[in-house]
């Protein structure tokens, strides 16, 4: 139920903001707006405000299917227009006004994203400290000589200045951008941390980053922040309970090999399987100041033909957290920067998908969006706001693509008109519209297939 409500609220808000952008600029340009609709299909709610803006008599509609919306304006191409109102029709406006009205929708979504990111910066958010967990074997971070426990104080792309790093999420975002953009990243380790007082170059440009997924961060080597190798909640009847493990046990060694943190311990547990059979290992633990040795035999789990170990207990204590909060100006500026970065990365990934350098699996549809809406809402208000900001950026960027059925396609028409002095002919308009619909349907089909594969596959 939470997933459905979160999805409808998110979609309704983002569509309303998008259409309000079109509506508000149309009114400012003196164009008469006939209908402002959120959703399609049967009408759920219909009203006309008693106080309208000068020259307006707009009907506001809420429809049953909140999967889009539209702003219908007075236009001679759709219905006859009285001679006295011809100057208020959309099609009679100068190119610059028509372009402004069309561009206002995506611009409203991008502006909303800026404000949402800024709001989170002003509110403050609890995030893990920028301390590296144990890197995945053979990863870029492992090859750079990092072992986990290093605190990162600053980072930056190779050739640019290092910027202070406030949290682990900020560091992971930089690593993701560097890997997807094919850039190297330089990090500075805090003097008081393990191996501190030096800079380390991470050659992330070596990664063939075709998908922005969990495997990407495994190639980088950073799977999570550092956390103690502590046993958490133990499930009844599981391998952990059979071995005598208790909540709060700190694992020091597994078969004599030191355990660095919770991530390394999880990897060790998964590896306690050989030829499909569980392997018993000696765990040296610390419990209430005493050292104990326990024999642990994990349960074997088969997933898609791959067998791995599981002990049916939460592994790894929560990482050290800090509150990241910014002032009014700095918070707003960071909101602008984050919106720009996400927009740029989205466009880069779309371009790479077109030329085959990135996987089409990166496309997501309504099922994935609904799934993440529910998950983010369950994590609290801050995570839900960040989710809204991300989807708002995506909606803004998507609508600026030069596809005839989207706002970006109409902007291309107006660019042609501004350069040549004549509008696109009806025949060409019809051909381009059909092509745009075909491309959009193909994208939606791929996205829906990816959704089903992710959620049910």
pLDDT number for residue 320: 87
pLDDT number for residue 193: 79
Same domain? For 280 and 375 the reply is: no
- Give yes or no for a contact between 44 and 64, defined as CB atoms under 8 angstroms apart: yes
Tokens of 362: 């990166």
pLDDT number for residue 67: 75
- 44 inside domain: no
pLDDT number for residue 231: 92
165, 186, 220 - which closes a domain: 220
Active-site residues, by number, are 19
- 344 inside domain: yes
Tokens of 189: 């380790």
The CATH number covering residue 152 comes to 2.30.42
Same domain? For 340 and 275 the reply is: no
d(CA 134, CA 168): 14
**Which ranges of the chain have pLDDT less than 50?**
none
Give how many domains the chain has, as a whole number.
3
- 279 inside domain: yes
The CATH number covering residue 240 comes to 2.30.42.10
- Give yes or no for a contact between 151 and 196, defined as CB atoms under 8 angstroms apart: yes
Same domain? For 216 and 236 the reply is: no
Same domain? For 207 and 181 the reply is: yes
Same domain? For 348 and 445 the reply is: yes
Largest CA distance in the chain: 92
Tokens of 222: 């950073």
- 403 inside domain: yes
262, 297, 318 - which closes a domain: 318
172, 190, 220 - which closes a domain: 220
Question: pLDDT tens-digit profile of 393-425?
Answer: 989 998 898 888 889 888 998 888 888 888 887
- 17 inside domain: no
Same domain? For 346 and 433 the reply is: yes
Please calculate the CA angle 151-154-158 and round it to the nearest 5 degrees. Answer: 120
Same domain? For 239 and 198 the reply is: no
pLDDT number for residue 405: 80
Tokens of 26: 């149309």
- 42 inside domain: no
Same domain? For 418 and 305 the reply is: no
- 15 inside domain: no
Domain around 194: 140-220
Same domain? For 392 and 311 the reply is: no
pLDDT number for residue 448: 65
Same domain? For 282 and 186 the reply is: no
Task: Give Rg (Cα) of the chain.
Answer: 27
Contacts of 378 (CB under 8 A, 6+ apart): 2
- Give yes or no for a contact between 51 and 138, defined as CB atoms under 8 angstroms apart: no
- 18 inside domain: no
Same domain? For 344 and 412 the reply is: yes
Same domain? For 240 and 281 the reply is: yes
């Amino acid at each position: 139920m939470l997933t459905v409500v979160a999805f409808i609220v998110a979609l309704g808000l983002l569509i309303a903001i998008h259409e309000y952008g079109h509506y508000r600029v149309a009114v400012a340009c003196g164009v008469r707006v006939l209908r402002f609709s959120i959703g399609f299909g049967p009408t759920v709610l219909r009203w006309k405000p008693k106080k309208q803006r000068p020259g307006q008599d707009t009907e506001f509609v809420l429809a049953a299917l909140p999967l889009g919306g539209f702003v219908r304006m007075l236009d001679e191409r759709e219905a006859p227009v009285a001679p006295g109102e011809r100057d208020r029709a959309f099609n009679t406006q100068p190119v610059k006004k028509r372009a402004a009205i069309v561009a206002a929708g995506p611009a409203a979504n991008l502006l909303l994203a800026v404000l949402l990111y800024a709001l989170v910066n002003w509110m403050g958010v609890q995030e893990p400290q920028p301390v590296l967990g144990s890197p995945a074997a053979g990863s870029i971070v492992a090859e750079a000589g990092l072992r986990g426990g290093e605190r990162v104080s600053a980072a930056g792309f190779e050739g640019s200045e290092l910027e202070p790093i406030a949290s682990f999420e900020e560091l992971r975002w930089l690593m993701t951008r560097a890997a997807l953009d094919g850039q190297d990243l330089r990090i500075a380790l805090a003097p008081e941390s393990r191996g501190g007082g030096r800079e380390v170059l991470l050659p992330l440009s070596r990664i063939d980053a075709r998908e922005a997924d969990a495997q990407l961060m495994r190639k980088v080597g950073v799977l999570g922040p550092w956390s103690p190798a502590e046993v958490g909640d133990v499930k009844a009847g599981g391998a952990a309970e059979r071995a005598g493990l208790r909540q709060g046990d700190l694992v020091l060694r597994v078969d004599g090999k030191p355990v660095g943190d919770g991530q390394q311990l999880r990897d060790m547990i998964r590896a306690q399987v050989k030829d499909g059979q569980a392997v018993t290992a000696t765990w040296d633990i610390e419990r209430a100041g005493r050292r104990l040795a326990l024999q642990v035999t994990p349960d074997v789990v088969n997933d898609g033909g791959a067998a791995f170990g599981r002990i049916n207990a939460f592994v790894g204590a929560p990482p050290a957290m800090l509150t990241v909060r910014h002032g009014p100006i700095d918070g707003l500026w960071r909101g602008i920067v984050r919106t720009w970065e996400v927009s740029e990365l989205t466009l880069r990934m779309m371009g790479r998908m077109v030329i085959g350098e990135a996987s089409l699996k990166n496309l997501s549809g309504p099922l994935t969006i609904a799934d993440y809406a529910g998950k983010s809402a369950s994590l609290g208000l801050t995570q839900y706001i960040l989710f809204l900001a991300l989807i708002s950026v995506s909606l803004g960027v998507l609508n600026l693509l030069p596809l005839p059925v989207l706002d970006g396609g109409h902007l291309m028409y107006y660019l042609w008109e501004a350069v040549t002095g004549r509008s696109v002919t009806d025949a060409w308009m019809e051909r381009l519209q059909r092509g745009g619909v075909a491309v959009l349907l193909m994208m939606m089909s791929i996205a829906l297939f990816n959704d089903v594969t992710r959620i049910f596959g």
